[in-house]
Structure 1
Amino acid sequence: MAVLLRDDLAVWQRLNVTSFLVSGIGRAVPELVGEPYEDADGTPYLAMFRQPVLVFEGTKETMAAAHARAVARALPCAVFTADMFATGNDRDNRAAVRAVGRAQLDLVGMAVHGPRNAVDKILKGARMHP
């Protein structure tokens, strides 16, 4: 599982986009979520991903190329567009994405899940987030 963020985002945007994107992968691939946690006192906690989430960054062009490769490979993919920063709810987020053709999406982040070699090829040109 990997997240690709555009390199011109503010820190708060990077964190916000990452959290939104991984929620989509968790919904699409539920077997990635492990069992719930519990501390020694019996306090229950929510389950989390069973594997690390790798976070990368890249330019707008890197983002567009990675998105095209993910779509071509039909891997589970979540997207976050710049227009979504101006919305305040899920319905408006979906409408913002629906209003724009795939090639014109102003992507600021995407998450993808698949075999490691396929994800590596999709993220070609991106670098690990510092």
Structure 2
Amino acid sequence: MFDTKVALIVRSDLAVWQKLNVVAFLATGVAAAAPDALGEPYEDAAGHRYGRMLGQPMMVFAADRSGLQSAHRQALSRELRIVPYVHAMFSTGHDAANRAVFRAEDAANLDLVGLALHGPKKAVDKAVKGLALHE
């Protein structure tokens, strides 16, 4: 049905509030990177209009740091849209600080706690191969 796929990967050892925070931010990153994936606005029976959401499912996977880093390497090699979230971002208070702590990370050893991937289905499937869906 869809030519593309969205995968959100969250580190399994995080507190529940951290997992939810990461998934929320990653989802907004996908929407920003792929506005063409957004559906139409919702409208209820009374005519009230509501916001748009992605028009396709997002699969949420769990992984340890190593699994996230592996998915990241696979996503880079397949030129997927990537939205990252690193551990240091939990200690910041605004977007500019998030970008600063991300830039300070060792690009070869990112301390990833979350990753969103968007692209052709087969390429996303290969990037998340071996990861389990989040329970």
- Deviations for 1:49-85, whole angstroms, at most 9, x for unmatched residues? 1011100001111111100111111110000000000
CA distance in 1, matches of 2:96, 2:108: 22
What does 1:87-102 align with in structure 2 at a 5 Å threshold?
87-102=92-107
Q: What secondary structure sits across from 1:34 in the alignment? A: coil
Asked if 1:80 corresponds to 2:85, the answer is yes
Runs of 4+ in 1 over 2 A off after TM superposition: none
Tell me the CA shift for residue 104 of structure 1. 2.3
Q: Tell me whether 1:129 sits opposite 2:131 in the alignment.
A: no
Identity %: 48
Are 2:63 and 1:30 aligned? no
Cα contact 1:58–1:125 (8 A) shared by 2: no
Amino acid at match of 1:14: K
Q: Render the CA deviation track for 1:6-33: whole Å, top value 9, x for unaligned.
A: 1101111111000101111111111110
TM-score normalized by structure 1?
A: 0.97
Asked whether the equivalents of residues 10 and 60 of structure 2 are also in contact (C-alpha less than 8 Å), the reply is yes
User: Which residue does 1:52 correspond to in 2?
Assistant: 57
Corresponding residue for residue 10 of structure 1: 15
Equivalent residue letter for 2:41: P
Give the drift of 1:101. Answer: 2.6
TM score, norm. by length of structure 2: 0.93
Alpha carbons 1:79, 1:107 under 8 Å: kept: yes
Unaligned runs of 5+ in 1: none
Unaligned stretches of 5+ residues in structure 2? 1-5
CA contact (8 A) 1:3 1:110 kept: yes
